Amino acid sequence: MSIGNRVVVHSGAVLGADGFGYAFDGRAHRKIPQVGGLRIEDDVEIGANTTIDRATLGHTLIRRGSKIDNLVQVGHNCEVGRTSSSSLRSASPARAPSAMAPSSPARSALPITSRWPQEPS
């Protein structure tokens, strides 16, 4: 994990936690090791009780100047774009080009993207 300069992390935030990665093998869900990292660039603010997962491979990225509100969950392999301001409930990772949690009635207006390899067609 790398954290840039002038980063503010409020109370209760969890950075670099194990992502929610499982694969179903036909009988059971098997844990996929989350061996990637988390990169937080300069001038970022992360709200209280926010969770940002580390990547499965590569890095979850929080770009320079981003502001993330309290109680936000950023999933593994996401990238939060430069100078974004987020009060999302959740940012979805793999295979979702720009998404929020399914329970949310709105779509994200932020540049949150997945850098996870796409499944073959």
| DSSP per-residue letters across 13-69 | -EEEEPP--EEE-SSSEEEPP---EEEE-TT-EE-TT-EEEPPSSSEEEE-TT-EE-
The whole-chain average pLDDT of the chain stands at: 79
Q: Which residues are catalytic?
A: 76
Distance CA 42, CA 7 (A): 6
2-114 falls under which CATH superfamily? Hexapeptide repeat proteins (2.160.10.10)
Q: What is the mean pLDDT of residues 101-106?
A: 35
Residue-level pLDDT at 97: 38
pTM score above 0.75: no
Q: Are 85 and 45 in contact (CB under 8 A)?
A: no
pLDDT in tens, 14-24: 999 998 889 99
